[in-house]
Structure 1
Amino acid sequence: MSELGDFLRARRGQLVRSELGLPMLGRTRTTGLRREEVSFLSGVSVTWYTWLEQGRDINPSRQVLDAVARTLQLTGAEHAYMLSLAGYPGPRPETSASDRAPDHIQRLLDALADSPAFAIEPDWSISGWNRAYALLYPNIAKVPARDRNLLYLVFTDPYVRELLPDWDIDSRRFLAEFRAEVGPRVSEPTFVDLVDRLRESSAEFRAWWSRHDIEGFTTRERLFHHPLVGDIRLEHHRLAPSDHPDLHLVIYTPVVATDAPARLRRLLDAEDLL
């Protein structure tokens, strides 16, 4: 816990007092808070906060650490680091989905020109995609933003059923992966709305949701059947940008030992599909 104490003292000493509505210390000191001031602003006892900085083995609660993080005006990275020093996972990402991926993420997707790729938010809303993915799944640009959710589209769009010859296997696996990722957050409004809509729209979803199947994501081969170029076997990858760990990039690359590279090239060269 000594590293945690050192970190808290360093951040406490760097705060600008005027930004917190506090007067200077003495005639010239404009930075740094007293322990008593951090304690008051955080709602934590002076003794408890002092023990934190002294690195005592006191097992602070996450609520205490979050309150101190707010007072010390920690960045997201600093907050996550502080929690890790105390043995807690980082702050949970927001559940509200964005209609649009950050600009640098979209540029990355576009740079993956030969590989269908898209970005999904924590609730699996699709917030960005590249031209290759739009050629593989043309409906992505047509559906309303509220419906542009990977799980919702898998269970409700007839085109996806035609696109996935192994739809029964793929859809069950998607559902098990989604449930594993969501965990207890399934009771949050964003997820409740999605699950309710899927229950109303898909008999398969209603039946399978009650099974509580759980499965972690693994890179794997997927089979797609495109109406223009036929069967394409692609490898399914998923990555998380370091600066947006709540966002995942899904990338499909052709399986080299098959005719997938040639079929995908034919699809990419089909200018009239979009």
Structure 2
Amino acid sequence: MQGEEQRARQLAEFLRTRRARLNPDQVGLPSGGRRRTPGLRRAEVAVLAGVSVDWYTWLEQGRDIQVSIQVLDSITRALRLDDNERRHLFLLATGHLPPENHEPQNSVSLMLQDFLDRQGECPAFVTNSRWDIVAWNRAASLIFGDYERMSPRERNSIWRLFTSKYAKQLLRDDWEKNAKRRLAQFRASYGNTMGDSWWTGMIEALNAQSEEFRQWWPLHNVLNTPEGEKLLYHPTVGSLRFGHLSFQASDSASLQVTVNIPLDDPTKEKMKRLLRTDE
């Protein structure tokens, strides 16, 4: 009970601070003359969100009231919250992350791309909420395939894992273990996007293309923790041992950065040789 009360207080403070940073001009409302305090009034936020003033006041006071996804998204739009702030709002108001209700991010900042390029012999890439590869470095293309030449569907990491002969050859005996782990992560992401036609279409296509997907998808295994190590078999340089590190991009809650770090000197030397050959 104490945790719920603390969360309600945090929600009230968060809403007040987001309201205080906006002015009427920013949201298309008349200024109404001088204001004793900065920011929008509660009544103005209520109008923008399409809720009653009393209900919004109760929410901002941290009272125990029921909130729906639709209303929280209306408040998100009214207060001009970004993706990270929207996630924070949902966690405070419901205790759960919000469903994905917008188009996935398909590009990265120049700084993030520069980070990938600076990883040298470490294959690194970025995936969005649909598990599409949206950015990569040269090392990643040399190991996992030439993403530049792939179609958007081929750049989806789940599609490629289950339909590409090259992916199966790259992982060899570890393919099934890796595929089941990645599929469980894919299932966890799907649970946050129910009703999205893209997911329905992708699942139907995977069912049609992959016998393993047809067998494993109905098992409903869910996993959010990325694997730690992997052994790959490259057609040119042979076996490669990588450690696996994944983290969320600081400027976007929907992007995950993955860096594969060589675990031994032979792997480092092979990666350097591949990069020199590709110059």
TM-score range, shorter chain: 0.7 to 0.9
User: For residues 73 and 228 of structure 1, do their structure 2 counterparts lie closer, same or farther at Cα, with a shift above 3 Å needed?
Assistant: closer
**Aligned mates of 1:245, 1:33 — CA distance in 2:** 27
Gaps of 5+ in 2: 1-7
1:202 corresponds in structure 2 to: 210
Q: Which amino acid aligns with 1:252?
A: N
Contact 2:100 2:193 in 1 (8 A): no
1:144 corresponds in structure 2 to: 151
SS at match of 2:153: helix
Q: CA deviation at 1:175?
A: 1.3
Does 1:53 find its partner at 2:53?
A: no
Does 1:229 find its partner at 2:244?
A: no
What's the RMSD between the two structures over aligned residues?
2.7
Gaps of 5+ in 1: none
1:154 corresponds in structure 2 to: 161
1:83 corresponds in structure 2 to: 90
SS at match of 1:124: coil
Does 1:241 find its partner at 2:244?
A: no
Q: CA deviation at 1:87?
A: 4.4
Q: Which amino acid aligns with 1:254?
A: P
**Aligned mates of 1:101, 1:14 — CA distance in 2:** 27
Counterpart mapping for 1:55-70 below 5 A: 55-70=62-77
1:169 corresponds in structure 2 to: 177
Contact 2:99 2:192 in 1 (8 A): no
User: For residues 102 and 192 of structure 1, do their structure 2 counterparts lie closer, same or farther at Cα, with a shift above 3 Å needed?
Assistant: farther
User: For residues 115 and 70 of structure 1, do their structure 2 counterparts lie closer, same or farther at Cα, with a shift above 3 Å needed?
Assistant: same
2:198 corresponds in structure 1 to: 190
**Aligned mates of 2:129, 2:170 — CA distance in 1:** 24
The Cα offsets for residues 21-63 of structure 1, whole Å up to 9 and x where unpaired, read as 433434x459644433333332222222222333334354444
Q: CA deviation at 1:174?
A: 1.7
Does 1:4 find its partner at 2:25?
A: no
TM-score, normalising length: structure 2: 0.83
**Aligned mates of 1:168, 1:124 — CA distance in 2:** 18
2:137 corresponds in structure 1 to: 130
Identity %: 37
Q: CA deviation at 1:184?
A: 4.6
Does 1:220 find its partner at 2:220?
A: no
2:42 corresponds in structure 1 to: 35
Contact 2:10 2:92 in 1 (8 A): yes
TM-score, normalising length: structure 1: 0.84
Q: Which amino acid aligns with 2:189?
A: E
Instruction: State which of 115, 134, 146 in structure 2 corresponds to 1:108.
Output: 115
